[in-house]
């Protein structure tokens, strides 16, 4: 999905804590109010009114259907966007997963290379930061940069057994 503001609206409308209770949600600071603003900008960018926006096709594998249904409900409730869940490869966005071998969120965020030079610099500073509150501020900033610049967005992480 190439439309930046639509991607940002979809991400901002997600409450990660409501998706799964046995996973580790990744915190980010976008709000519902921002989701509404991004959605309005997306409609303007696409030259559409809300009722003209086609349904979003979400590709998922079988084990991800509960998460997909949760996303579908959140996007409908918060933005009025209809989503169809597809087991085939004709989709606008996809839900995928991977396992990490560490609970360190910065290690997960390090997987996203070359987002921007600013992202790389913030990641480096965050890894060196000893103060946990300051480190959390950097992590939130990194999440916001991801939402601005990449087509994928991590919702939660699962520890490898």
Q: Please give the full DSSP string across 16-50, using - where no structure is assigned.
A: GGGT-SSSEEPP----HHHHHHHHHHHHHHHT--G
For residues 51 and 66, what is the distance between their CA atoms, to the nearest angstrom? 26
pLDDT in tens, 28-65: 667 788 889 999 999 999 999 999 988 888 887 777 78
Distances (CA, A) of 76 to 30, 50, 81, 82, 132: 18, 12, 5, 6, 36
Domains, the chain: 4-159 (3.10.105.10)
* Percent of the chain residues topping a pLDDT of 70: 77
Tens of pLDDT, residue by residue over 87-106, are: 776 777 777 666 666 667 78
Reported pTM:
0.69
Q: Are 91 and 60 in contact (CB under 8 A)?
A: no
């Amino acid at each position: 999905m190439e439309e930046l503001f639509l991607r940002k609206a979809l991400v901002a409308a997600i409450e990660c804590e409501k998706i799964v209770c046995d996973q580790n949600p990744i915190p980010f600071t976008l709000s519902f109010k921002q989701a509404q603003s991004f959605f309005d900008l997306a409609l303007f960018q696409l030259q559409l009114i809300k009722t003209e926006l086609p349904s979003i096709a979400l590709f998922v594998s079988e084990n991800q259907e509960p998460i997909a249904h949760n996303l579908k409900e959140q996007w409908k409730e918060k933005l009025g966007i209809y989503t169809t869940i597809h087991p085939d490869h004709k989709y606008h966005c996809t839900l995928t997963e991977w396992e990490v071998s560490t609970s360190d969120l910065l290690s997960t965020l390090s997987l996203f290379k070359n987002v921007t030079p600013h992202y790389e610099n913030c990641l480096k500073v965050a890894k060196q930061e000893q103060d946990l509150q300051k480190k959390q501020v950097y992590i939130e900033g990194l999440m916001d940069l991801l939402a601005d610049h990449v087509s994928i967005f991590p919702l939660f992480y699962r520890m490898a057994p």
